[in-house]
Amino acid sequence: MTKKKTPPPSKPNSPPSEAQPAPIEDKVEETPYEAVASICSVLVIGLFILYFLAQNYVIPSGSMEKTLLIGDHLLVDRITFAPPTKWMPLVHYREPRRNDIVVFFKPVTDKNGDHMILVKRLIGVPGDHIHLRNGIVIINGVAQDQPHAEPTTPENHQDFLDEFPSVPPVPTPDPNLGTPEAWAVDFPNHIENGDLVVPSGMYFMMGDNRHDSLDSRYWGFMPRENIIGRPLFNYWSFKTSEDQYEQTGIGSTIAWMGHVALHFFSGTRWKRTLHLIQ
């Protein structure tokens, strides 16, 4: 005869009063010092990007129309054309090439002794033999296909601009509006068989709006060390008159800011937003 096994008695349920309370997490509040440190970290990273990697630039004139319009705001890559460095070994570097759009310091200073920042298209690299015939750029004997450039017509043809360098530059009293004397004097030293020869370490720059561009035809070659970078894309474009960026003073600045605020949506060229620069 076998004994009948009885199941072990079940443990009585614990009364609700004996239930273990959920752990309470302590809320750690950020101290003022930590908040300031976080803000400073963001500012340092932002300044590093803006100063070393990229830079904002706004188009103030129509010398690059229709590629770039007055009021285009560009993000400029400062790395690609920079001299290679050991502390950034994975970054792609290269030398400027023909047809690159380049942001650079103008070789000639203004009346205040400052170097303006310009954006033009690179036409000739060191060693190139350049001349223009009826507005067509000819490099090393080969006519260049440049669909981005303003075409030359009988109405806009100018000997100095379209038959360059057959007509030597003439110095003007204001180098910002014409040819500085130093370039007019040095110009004949770079002519060979009717071609302008680009010397070592220099580049020849021209605006796409060929008949409304003060470029290398007026002020000479652009040194390699003057290059700031190349524009990547147009992050914002706002309809702007050609004389807007010539106006100075706090009153004009406040008035322009008010205009932008009131006409932000209607004045923004939305189709050019995030437009790649080529």
Rounded Cα gap, residues 125 and 140, in angstroms: 11
Rounded Cα gap, residues 50 and 45, in angstroms: 9
Tens of pLDDT, residues 199-255: 999 999 999 999 999 999 999 999 999 999 999 999 999 999 888 877 778 888 898
Rounded Cα gap, residues 149 and 136, in angstroms: 10
pLDDT of 47 higher than 90: no
For the chain, the structural domain boundaries read 75-232+272-276
Tens of pLDDT, residues 168-194: 999 988 877 889 999 999 999 999 999
CATH topology of domain 75-232+272-276: Umud Fragment, subunit A (2.10.109)
pTM listed for this prediction: 0.78
